[in-house]
Structure 1
Amino acid sequence: MQLSNDNDQETDNIQKGGVISENLASKPQVLSDKKLIKEEVKRRLISGIQTAALEYDSLYNEEKATLNKDYVLLSLLFQRMFFYKLNEKLSGLSCDHTLRFTKQILTQMQFKRGKINEIIDVFKKNGGQCDCEILYNVESQLIGK
């Protein structure tokens, strides 16, 4: 009789283990190591390839983003870490009310001049006349509640 209970408990543990591993597979672990975060940001920025989850990803609100007719482009820029990088460049600085950092980052992302101009037009149409306004007015349309 004891043997049967042990087998039942072992079966339960195996089943629970399967559920736990399924949960882990469905919820990717968020990177916390600064070096790994920096590598992931660079990888996404340059190649657009996401290999790990970042805390920043959880800010994105798809329901809110889809309210904007330019959401496909803006969401792509969010996923490729454009807004993250712009915020990083502006932190500790006051905005000079130009698109200097925006153009630098889009160039780093390997967009051609024509595509950069299209993206800037979308930013301006959405209230992003300069680097800081892109964060305040454009990124805010993709994040939060």
Structure 2
Amino acid sequence: MFPTEIRVYVLSKTKEREVFATIDMVEDYFCSDLPSRTPPGRFNIPSDQIIFKKGALILFQYAERKDEEKIVAHALLKSDGCVYVPGNDYYIGYYQLDIKSINVYRNPVTKDEIFGIWKKKLLQAKLNLDVSKYDDYLNLLKKKNNLTSRCIKKTD
């Protein structure tokens, strides 16, 4: 499926930061936690500062240390933007991700590789990337052996 848009979401911006303390914890979150939530693929968000369109490819940015930003996973957005949940003190709602599209990379994509495709830097900002470069990104994933998710063994 060709995405409607390509966006970067910075994992450290969530209220579940402790869940993303290590790369192994990130893998566990995407491969085990998200599929078991109600509804499956529920990715809680703290604010509506960014709006994703249905069918967006969301690239998840992670960094254990400053200046080590990289893309570690992606998923397609199944919901039409945010599903609002009133009365929650921690989240305004959630994005429902297509759990079949969750791909945790075997070899993370570096900030230099992202810059090589889109001429944009991974920082602490949520990026909107040119969807016409999607095939270039897929080719990079193929070269890095990232077309098959690390989650496969956990979800079969």
Q: Fold-level match, TM-score > 0.5?
A: no
Higher strand share: 2
Task: Give the alignment's TM-score, normalised by structure 2.
Answer: 0.28
The structure that is helix-richer by fraction is 1
Instruction: Please report the TM-score for the alignment, with normalisation by the length of structure 1.
Output: 0.30
Which structure would you say has the larger Rg? 1
Structure number with the bigger relative contact order (C-alpha 8 A, sep ≥ 6) is 2
